[in-house]
Amino acid sequence: MWERGRPPRKPRPSPILVPPPPSSPPPRLNLLLPRSLLALAARAMPSRRPSPVLLLLLALSLALLFLLLSPSFPSTSRFSRSLSSGSAFASSSPASTSAPPAPVKIYLYDLPAKFTYGVVRSYKAARATSGSADAAATLPDEQLRYPGHQHSAEWWLFKDLLRRRPQDRPVARVDDPSDADLFYVPFFSSLSLVVNPIRSPLAANASGAGTAYSDEALQEELLEWLERQLYWQRHRGRDHVFICQDPNALYRVVDRISNAVLLVSDFGRLRSDQASLVKDVILPYSHRINSFKGEVGVDGRPSLLFFMGNRYRKEGGKVRDALFQILENEDDVTIKHGTQSRESRREATQGMHSSKFCLHPAGDTPSACRLFDALVSLCVPVIASDYIELPFEDIIDYNKISIFVGTSKAVQPGYLTSTLRRISSERILEYQREIKKVRHYFEYEDPNGPVNEIWRQVSLKAPLIKLLTNRDKRLLERGTNGTDCSCICSTTPTDITAAS
């Protein structure tokens, strides 16, 4: 009750402590807040003393507000600014703004024509019928065509350098040898090798040639020419590149070029002091059958397994005869003896295009063009070759596109067919899809195919060559143990394991 003559007593204000503002202005929040949380609370509170529960809730709200406005709290705006600044840093980093690496400079030797176009002419002349004119003898160089051959990579690489394709490639041809990092020797060594046994003296005389073609003499002549060149002498040929895709190509002079980068299909005929994965490059054979143009699927492939090739081979290829004995009586397996001929290629095309799996056993050497025939046919390769080397393994995982079987297991009766029959149709489709992704790496006609990839592989050798040539300059004495640190044998994996 009021006392007479005195105004009513004002309500006592609530004992609320408001924290002092931060020393620096807080960042602006993109939130809609009331003008004053205190005013809102005052309007909501009754005139009597507030309850303890309400005071506790209000204190918690103020504490949360204080944290939101604190400079150390990662607010939404500051977090977004940090993200934008991080992305700005990423966009300005060297990895995203730097230009692609400059191509490795390569010089194409202008060899006498007998080592390039002359080999093609000799090959065609050896097959000219008796008494007929040799058309290739009168054709200009640019109209000559390389014979259909599994070792045609030597032709594709030579023509590629002649065309001087765009500079955004792994290698760029230069006209001044003093500017070159590498030197390409365009001898058609694989084609030269097969001219010799076919050309008889009778055919030579009929076509107007005075003497029979000699691949061995041409190899010797090539090395004599090269060894007179200043840039060969400079580093003993270490920065030179030869293609010898046939296992016997350049066999007479291979010891004299073992310092160089060799482009080969495998190491079956090469010693560990002649070739290795460290300095050399594995190439795919040119496929000899037509590519399969259809889509993935198993419905049009009634045959389980297909093989067509020479049954009797030497050395590691003896496994073929054993496989013939095991598989030739299987109902859904096609395995037959065949040699290189137009009719055999037609049969092989039909067989690979209608089979789920294609067998690739070792022959005289671990690899053959049959593997790449299978890949362009979407026929899943079954590889029974223990020492095979495969091209472009830094970008192709062959376990995704092939099945590997040890030769000791492959020759066990029933093992191969029972293993393949357990593979589901969906798994076969997965293999086929993976093959389609990488098939262009085995088709030399493709502009983004093996030619470009071979040059990339060659360009990767340039830093090692530079390292070794610089090292050679400063060495005063050579070791007497006969080892060369640049060579690691690829056919003896135990040595690699021990070295690591």
DSSP string, 221-281: HHHHHHTTSHHHHHHTTTTEEEE--STTTTTTTGGGSTTSEEEES-STT--TTT--TTT-E
Q: 12-57: per-residue pLDDT in tens?
A: 554 444 455 555 555 544 444 444 544 544 555 555 565 676 667 7
Q: 236 and 324 in one domain?
A: no
Q: 365 and 249 in one domain?
A: no
Q: 257 and 309 in one domain?
A: no
Q: 429 and 396 in one domain?
A: yes
Q: How confident is the model at residue 468 (pLDDT cuts 50, 70, 90)?
A: confident
Q: 428 and 326 in one domain?
A: yes
Q: Is residue 159 part of a domain?
A: yes
The CATH number linked to 359 is 3.40.50.2000
Q: 111 and 208 in one domain?
A: yes
117 in helix, strand or coil? helix
Q: 234 and 110 in one domain?
A: yes
How far is Cα 104 from Cα 84, in angstroms, rounded to an integer?
Answer: 37
Q: What is the model's pTM?
A: 0.75
Q: 221-252: per-residue pLDDT in tens?
A: 999 999 999 999 999 999 999 999 999 999 99
Q: 270 and 178 in one domain?
A: yes
Q: Which residue has the higher pLDDT, 299 or 480?
A: 299
Q: Is residue 467 part of a domain?
A: no
Domain housing 364: 303-440
Helix axes 37-44, 52-69, angle to 10 degrees: 170
The DSSP output letter for 317 is G
Q: Is residue 245 part of a domain?
A: yes
pLDDT at position 94 over 70: no
List the structure tokens of 126: 């050896």
Q: 265 and 157 in one domain?
A: yes
Q: Is residue 24 part of a domain?
A: no
Q: 394 and 435 in one domain?
A: yes
pLDDT at site 24: 53
Q: 175-221: per-residue pLDDT in tens?
A: 999 999 999 999 999 999 999 655 454 444 444 444 688 999 999 99
Q: Which residue has the higher pLDDT, 88 or 161?
A: 161
Q: How far is CA 314 from each of CA 55, 131, 136, 320, rounded to the nearest angstrom?
A: 97, 38, 36, 10
Q: Is residue 240 part of a domain?
A: yes
Q: How confident is the model at residue 1 (pLDDT cuts 50, 70, 90)?
A: very low
The sign of the CA dihedral 390, 395, 399, 401 is negative
Tally of structural domains, the chain = 2
Q: How far is CA 456 from each of CA 178, 445, 461, rounded to the nearest angstrom?
A: 22, 17, 9
Q: 328 and 258 in one domain?
A: no
The sign of the CA dihedral 227, 239, 444, 312 is positive
Task: Point out the domain boundary residue: 440, 473, 490.
Answer: 440
Q: 320 and 277 in one domain?
A: no
How far is Cα 264 from Cα 270, in angstroms, rounded to an integer?
Answer: 10
